[in-house]
Amino acid sequence: MARSMDGLLVVDKPQGPTSHDVVARMRRVLREKAIGHTGTLDPMATGVLLLVLGKATRLAKFLTASDKSYDAVVRLGFATDTADALGQAIGPISESPMPSRGEIDAALDAFRGTFMQRPPAFSAKKIDGQRSYKLARARKDARMKPSRDDGPDPRDLPDPRDPRDLPDPRDPRDLLDPRDLLDPRDPLDPLDPRDPLDPRDLPDPPALPAPASVTTHAIRIVSVDGDQVTLSLDCSAGFYVRSLAHDLGERLGIGGHLAALRRTRTGGFGLDHAITLDAAERDPAGAAAAVVPLAGMLLDVAAIVLTASGVERVTHGRDIDPRDRSMTEPSALSPEPSFQPSVVTPHPIVRLLDPAGNLIAIGRPVGAGGLLHPSVVLV
């Protein structure tokens, strides 16, 4: 445990725990407080979960933007309110014959390439500043909640067949008492604006977050077995496989939801780089040895090697120019990535390495003349 905990750990997340649960357990395993993850996996999902440790937490935003690969099982026949197997069925269960493999593949054409995808209601996207899943859960709870006023007991209603229950105009006790009228000044009056509202009385907020542009580089049908379709896909960051399952079912006219999901790759890191959570907890030293150092991260991003004076400028947050660049090629200092996905960032970024090949900063182009500004300094 003496080695620095600055780097990245690829965990093969099991089914059940949340991504936050995995982070909490690995903090105990590695005795490192500064740990975060770079892309949420639902509790039902398994597979590649990248954890960033120590200084590497400052690189999380670049890893989050990486492409991802998944193996998914879509069950056709009915949709659910969460778009996965953990939700409740919504709408009728289809009694139509299951579509053929060719029909499913043709329907998938609508989701190949770049398109606008609407995230599911139960997602971390925001609607008017609030998490979509919180709004969806509140609406669901409100609909299940019993009414504040279930109405009068039928036994208390007047019986028109019983003359004793009919009002007697000669009896002052049957006249309307003004004190029984609603008093708007009364804080307990249900019409008072200060009275808390029942969530069911409020208009429903937008049911789903706004659509976002996503890209699938490939969607392949692995198998079709009854009502279950196994898919393999490569996609951009921000892509929801649950939405794909739901939308595919809608396009086929029979409904559908995600039955199982396994993430096989994030950026340049796949399951072959991963350590299981159980193995990490059994062998903390082995987990520490599996941490990828800073120099081994973001290998799909261009790099330049700095001179000693360039390193000095970067450590003080100063811009660097071509004179601060060493003649040494980065490939001579660090291994080539086994997979080169596209990295989507608002502006081009460059890895800045010291003469020993250590990653010391992330630079962004500024102005003209080849100037680079160290936007993230790691030393």
Name the token pair of 372.
């680079």
What's the rounded Cα separation, in Å, for the pair 351 and 369? 18
DSSP 91: S
Catalytic one among 6, 12, 42, 84? 42
Name the token pair of 323.
């004179």
What's the rounded Cα separation, in Å, for the pair 208 and 122? 8
What's the rounded Cα separation, in Å, for the pair 286 and 291? 9
Closest among 36, 31, 29, 28 to 7, alpha carbons compared: 36
Catalytic status, residue 192: no
H or E stretch including 23? helix 19-30
Name the token pair of 274.
């991963």
The gap from C-alpha 354 to its chain's centroid, in whole angstroms, comes to 35
Using a CB cutoff of 8 Å and minimum separation of 24, what contacts does 215-223 make? 215/113, 215/114, 215/115, 215/239, 216/111, 216/112, 216/113, 217/67, 218/112, 219/108, 219/111, 219/112, 221/101, 221/104, 221/105, 221/108, 222/71
What's the rounded Cα separation, in Å, for the pair 276 and 290? 11
What's the rounded Cα separation, in Å, for the pair 290 and 283? 11
Q: Are strands 7-13 and 89-90 parallel, antiparallel or unpaired?
A: unpaired
What's the rounded Cα separation, in Å, for the pair 334 and 307? 17
CB-based contact 231:222 (threshold 8 Å): yes
Q: Which sequence positions are flagged as catalytic?
A: 42
